[in-house]
Structure 1
């Protein structure tokens, strides 16, 4: 793009810390924010309070990529696919336990959506990050979790756990694994994406120009290869297409959260 880019990592509070930093910068397009789908579409409905308002503070520029998410199970779980897992969950005297990377994390969101579409009850066990949850799946302390497929695949290939399904669409790195929908449970199709946002008030001429610049970058073969090596797939969306996707996913999570009375503690 002909300019230097400085990456300023601001971890914490499911991305809220980064938005606060963006709000302190001028609305001139020089400072952008990389947001996950969860913090833009799930957290605003799940959290009781946030230091940002998506509609008021953020302007969507482009969606850049999505990651493959798998539903994994511990080897102790007597199920070789998702149908058998659901049947086991319905017949088990003790509810199966499913971990997440934390309350309000996108892995928690997928769990609640899966429970809803499969009409099963599962015990949610939140962790402080995906790594400790994965360790407990490997150790057989919990029964499963939703997790980035690239993170879980090495253990699955070594026979240490089972990947029962993937979310949304089959993965290029493990195309043999069927989706949740393909196994008879439609409705868990939202892909976890990562997009670029500007601060509200940034001139449309600037956001439009940025979207055009990023299109060439995101669709470049070199970018696709770098994304793939990190477990992501390039997925360019901009303008009204990106805004419509955000709105549709936000409504899906809102309906689920209201129907199941889910709120942060």
Structure 2
């Protein structure tokens, strides 16, 4: 009897154990909050991932665009959400690391109020020079900027943006004589760069790919190795700026206190989506490369990124709010 009772008890426990070990599957559509308006490269990436991940995850993922305040409104939405795996965030530095580094008034802590799930993609920026600037390569450009009698005007796509802070970091590292001229976007800056009213600027690789050749000189990219979308363009490291690397990264985050089992399930599903033919075939067009590092690596990068941009922004006068 004892043996029979034991077998019956084990039989009763088996279904419970199977249920306890079953992978998490969302019971309603997961919303992926994209902190930008529809149509931009981050929105395109978010929609590609949402389409590709629905199969591996076993549930529908829908994009919710929450633009405003540089994407901060979208981050606030996610930070306040329930940590149940049903609200995710397509994160960039503009809402997390740079946002805090430049002193934006935030209702959330960019490190403590989110669960990092996956480091999705990296996209370097390209260093451009005016077509008539008397330089032949990036090393020559850096020498020219160091020895200039008057500061060379450089453009950015706005105060406190990636393109602003990356140039300020390079300026400090290489003792460049350059002066910031902020623009509201890349189009007007391109016009002034082509006309020689601006000497140089950093801009995203997709913006470079969208402009006709010859309108400016593409001097370097900020990736560690040459970037597949522009393989003939050398890196700043090749130009002699040791270890200088900068990325417009995207990552997947959720509200803080997300259960580890749900985090791991989401990471696995989005990793599969990131490496799917659908997504990989479009990343080059978006000027991005898949990363795929796990939540721990993504979290470590966030802390390092925050420290870097806080250091770069500290001597600058940045007023946004």
Asked whether the two chains share a fold, i.e. TM above 0.5, the reply is yes
Mapping of 1:21-170 within 5 angstroms? 21-155=77-211, 158-168=213-223, 169-170=225-226
Give yes or no for the alignment of 1:173 onto 2:229. Answer: yes
Which of 311, 316, 320 is equivalent to 1:255?
A: 311
**Aligned-partner Cα distance in 2 for 1:44–1:160:** 35
SS at match of 1:22: helix
**In structure 1, what is the Cα distance between the partners aligned to 2:243 and 2:96?**
19
Deviates more, 1:61-70 or 1:83-92: 83-92
**Cα distance in 2 between the residues matched to 1:159 and 1:130:** 17
Q: Distance in 1 between matches of 2:134 and 2:258?
A: 54
**Measured at CA, do residues 27 and 255 of structure 1 come closer, stay the same or move farther in structure 2, by a change above 3 Å?**
same
State TM-score, norm by structure 2.
0.76
Of the two, which has the highest radius of gyration?
2
* Separation in 1, partners of 2:107, 2:58: 33
Distance of 2:316 and 2:95 partners within structure 1: 16
Counterpart of 1:8?
Answer: 64
Once the two structures are superposed, residues 13-37 of structure 1 have per-residue CA deviations (whole angstroms, 9 ceiling, x without a partner) of 2221111222343221111111113
Aligned length: 262
1:38 is displaced (CA, Å) by 4.2
CA distance 1:26–1:45, change in 2 (3 Å): same
Unaligned runs of 5+ in 1: none
Contact kept, 8 Å, 1:69 with 1:166, in 2: the verdict is yes
Segments ≥4 residues shifted beyond 6 Å: none
Residue 108 of structure 1: how far off its partner (Å):
0.9
Task: Find the aligned partners of 1:210 and 1:98 in 2 and give their Cα distance.
Answer: 41
Q: Structure 2, unaligned stretches of length 5 or more?
A: 1-56
Please name the residue that 2:41 is paired with: none
Distance 2:252 2:240 in 1: 34
Q: C-alpha root-mean-square deviation of aligned residues, in Å? A: 1.8
Do the aligned residues in 2 keep the contact of 1:70 with 1:148 (CA within 8 Å)? yes
Distance in 1, matches of 2:144 and 2:226, equals 24
RCO higher in 1 or 2 (8 Å CA, sep ≥ 6)?
A: 1
Match of 1:189 in 2: 245
Asked if the contact 1:16–1:51 (Cα under 8 Å) also holds between the matched residues in 2, the reply is: no
Matched, 1:234 2:290: yes
What is the CA deviation profile of residues 95-153 of structure 1, one whole-angstrom value per residue up to 9, with x for unaligned ones?
Answer: 11111111111111111111011111211111112232223222322112111122113
SS of equivalent residue, structure 2 residue 119: strand
Instruction: Say if 2:75 and 2:95, in contact at 8 Å, map to a contact too.
Output: no
